Amino acid sequence: MMLCRFVGVLALIATLLVPGSAFAGKASKLLPLAPAPSGYQNKPIATGATVWYCAYGGNTKILCRLGDSGGKSTRPVQTVDRRLPGIVGDILNQPQRLSGGHIWIPLHTDPYDFELVGQLAEAVMCGSSASCGVVFAESIGALHDLVRNFERGRQGSDPSRLADAYSPGDGDS
């Protein structure tokens, strides 16, 4: 019985992978041999918007930290389902309460497509708000460089404003 199932599975795989079969093209999309390299493209962030700094922190987690809570007048209140933990409301509507803290977004496995990981970080930290943005990187070290460049561009070259920028030396790796 087990041998019949095994042979059946092999026959199915062979049918899907045989060149010229109707399923050959679809199988290559469904069963890639190696993941294609990709990365998250950071979007421009409006002046006065809430800014989160997020990176893949290893150990199947995304690490996020508040960069700027933004202006209250520019941030519309987002409705949060009461069944969700209270921190969800803080992230979306009162990010200033989380200043200096860290948010961990758990993943179920090690990521191989960082475009999707970046989209997840943006969805969790900003919801549907247009007055919120995420600076995302594939590692804490890479995030440090992105944040320094972002802060320099946003604040000019005032080095005192960079003191609060995300740094890999914060014990978060």
Structural domain contains residue 115:
yes
Give the pLDDT of residue 38. Answer: 56
Sole residue written with tokens 């150990």: 59
The reply to whether 117 and 144 lie within a common domain is yes
- Regarding whether 63 and 8 lie in a shared domain, the answer is no
The phi and psi torsions of 147 (rounded to 5 degrees) equal: -65, -45
Residue 22: domain span: 1-33
First-to-last CA distance in the chain?
50
Nearest Cα residue to 118 out of 167, 53, 36, 27 = 53
**How many angstroms separate the CA atoms of 52 and 49, rounded?**
10
Reported as a single tens digit per residue, the pLDDT across 57-115 is 988 999 999 999 987 655 678 888 889 899 999 999 999 999 999 999 999 999 989 99
27 and 57 assigned to the same domain:
no
In the predicted model, is pLDDT for residue 18 greater than 90?
no
Q: What is the number of structural domains in the chain?
A: 2
Distance CA(151)–CA(149), nearest Å, equals 6
Give yes or no: residues 109 and 155 share one domain. yes
SS3 state at 45: coil
